[in-house]
Amino acid sequence: MTYIQSPIQSVDDLHRLCEAQVERDNAQFGIKSLYLPNPIFTLTPKYCHVAMEPSWGRRTLEEFQALVNRGFKNFVGSDGDSILQYCAYTFLCHESFTYQITDISKGAMKTTVASVQRKIRYANWLSILKRELEFFGNPQLIAIGSTANNFLNKTSLKVRLCLTHFSQQNSRIFRKYYEQHPNKFLADGIHIALKDFVARLMAELNYDPEMRTFILKGLFNNELSIWKRGMFLSYMDQFSAMAAANKLFGPTAR
């Protein structure tokens, strides 16, 4: 008999499914990871960005858990994911939060652990990811990085756009993009708008004032480095092109 998994009915359903799968990951692979919720701005997004898995960076597990307990969300708190969200909000969604952002697997872990048995772990999460996307109305998919893109393309999920991941490992790619860009001046002084955006983003997500101050203190205090300016220009161009194509040819345009 074929087991048909029930659809997700609410955000709470999604959280429970993810928490349970993180526990199964920890038991199956003998790892330490914890569920990191994603920001949710709307239940009917036009687009959904899909990345790999979250990381707790240089923090200890206990420090990271304390942040999550206070309402910390994924994709909020670093230069790279802030640039990505700003460009999606501004150039793709015409200054609206009509997008969703998620990971294939939702257990935050050390980066050294993430690459071990990744294929098996992603396969374990695929059913939840598909039901998550169905719950959000099957928005257009944007892969963040080649790893996510390759995985999604091997499933029945259709990717509209693949972005270069905002990892520092891709700094040479972004630096070259900046150096060859005909309007590189557009990235001058953008750190001011980025910092304002992150403040608004955290207000949208109901972060407490102390955590907002803590996160903002470490973000966008100076001009972006050359490679991060290239990242901004790359995302700006790709999102602008996608928005223009959708306007001309509809959401299935490539």
Q: Which residues contact 211 (CB under 8 A, 6 or more apart)?
A: 67, 70, 71, 72, 202
Q: Write out the residue range of the structural domain in which residue 130 sits.
A: 11-249
- Here the CATH number for the domain that contains residue 198 is 3.40.470
What does the pLDDT read at residue 152?
97
What's the domain count of the chain?
A: 1
pLDDT band at 248 (very low <50, low <70, confident <90, very high): confident
Task: Tell me the per-residue pLDDT of 10-41, one tens digit each, with 9 for 90 and over.
Answer: 999 999 999 999 999 999 999 999 999 999 99
Alpha carbons 62 and 208: distance in angstroms, whole number = 19
CB atoms closer than 10 angstroms to residue 61: 14
Residue 79 lies in a domain: yes
Residue 3 lies in a domain: no
Helix (H) or strand (E) holding 80: helix 79-87
Rounded mean pLDDT, 184-201? 97
Task: Tell me the per-residue pLDDT of 102-157, one tens digit each, with 9 for 90 and over.
Answer: 999 999 998 888 988 999 999 999 999 999 999 999 999 999 999 999 999 999 89
What does the pLDDT read at residue 254?
42
More confident call, 59 vs 222: 222
Residue 140 lies in a domain: yes
- Write the DSSP assignment of 25-39 as a string of letters: HHHHHT---EE-PPP
Alpha carbons 120 and 33: distance in angstroms, whole number = 16
Task: Tell me the per-residue pLDDT of 33-69, one tens digit each, with 9 for 90 and over.
Answer: 999 999 999 999 999 999 999 988 788 889 999 999 9
Residue 80 lies in a domain: yes
Residue 50: which of 100, 8, 89 has the closest Cα? 100
Residue 42 lies in a domain: yes
What does the pLDDT read at residue 251?
65
Q: Considering the chain, what is the average pLDDT of its residues? A: 93
Residue 117 lies in a domain: yes
Spatial strand order in the sheet of 140-144: 99-103, 47-51, 140-144, 159-163
Residue 6 lies in a domain: no
What does the pLDDT read at residue 250?
67
Alpha carbons 132 and 12: distance in angstroms, whole number = 12
Residue 5 lies in a domain: no
What does the pLDDT read at residue 129?
97
CB atoms closer than 10 angstroms to residue 227: 18
- CA-to-CA dists, residue 144 to 27, 165, 181, 217, 241, angstroms: 28, 5, 21, 26, 17
